Amino acid sequence: MKPNAIKISKIVADTCSGLDKTNYVVCWIKDEVLQLEIDRVIYKNVSNSIFFLNPIHEWEILKKGNTFSSGYILYLSHEVLDSPVLSHLHINKVRLFSSDDIPLFKLSPGIEKRTQAILEMIDELLGSHLNHKDEAILSLLNTFFVYCDGQCNIKSVVSKNNAKSHIVYRFKKLVDSHVCDYHEVSEYANMLNITSKYLNECVKEVLYVGAKNIIIEQLLMRSRHALKFSNKTIKEISFELGFSSPDYFSYFFKTHTEMSPSTLRKS
What pLDDT, in 10s, does the model give residues 157-204? 444 446 777 788 788 889 988 999 999 999 999 999 999 999 999 888
Q: Are 141 and 122 a contacting pair, CB within 8 Å?
A: yes
Per-residue pLDDT, averaged over 12-20, amounts to 74
List domains and CATH numbers for the chain: 6-157 (2.60.120.280), 163-266 (1.10.10.60)
Q: Are 152 and 107 a contacting pair, CB within 8 Å?
A: no
Residue 236, pLDDT score: 96
3-state secondary structure the chain: CCCCCEEEEECCCCEEEECCCCCEEEEEECCCEEEEEECCEEECCCCCEEEEECCCCCEEEEECCCCCCCEEEEEECHHHHCCHHHHCCCCCHHHHCCCCCCEEEECCHHHHHHHHHHHHHHHHHHCCCCCCHHHHHHHHHHHHHHHCCCCCCEEEECCECCHHHHHHHHHHHHHHHHCCCCCCHHHHHHHHCCCHHHHHHHHHHHHCCCHHHHHHHHHHHHHHHHHHHCCCCHHHHHHHCCCCCHHHHHHHHHHHHCCCHHHHHHC
pLDDT band at 88 (very low <50, low <70, confident <90, very high): low
- Higher pLDDT: 92 or 225? It is 225
pTM, two decimals, is 0.56
**94 has pLDDT over 50:** no
106-163 pLDDT, tens digit per residue, is 666 667 778 889 999 999 999 888 888 899 999 998 888 877 665 444 444 444 446 7
How many other C-beta atoms can be found within 10 angstroms of the C-beta atom of residue 200?
A: 17
Residue 57, pLDDT score: 80
Which residue(s) pair with 72 in the sheet?
10, 28
Kindly state the percentage of the chain with pLDDT values over 90.
Answer: 28
Phi, psi angle pair for 28, to nearest 5°: -105, 110
**Rounded CA separation 260/161 (Å):** 41
* Burial annotation 40-71 (CB, 10 A radius, 16+ → b, else e): eeebeebebbbbbbebebebebebeeeeeebb
Strands 15-18 and 59-63: what pairing?
antiparallel
Residue 101, pLDDT score: 58
- Higher pLDDT: 44 or 226? It is 226
Closest to 241 in 3D by CA, of 266, 218, 207: 218
Strands 41-43 and 71-76: what pairing?
unpaired
Residue 187, pLDDT score: 97
**205 has pLDDT over 50:** yes
Residue 150, pLDDT score: 52
Report the chain's mean pLDDT, rounded to a whole number: 82
**Rounded CA separation 170/184 (Å):** 16
**Rounded CA separation 64/222 (Å):** 35
Which residue(s) pair with 16 in the sheet?
61
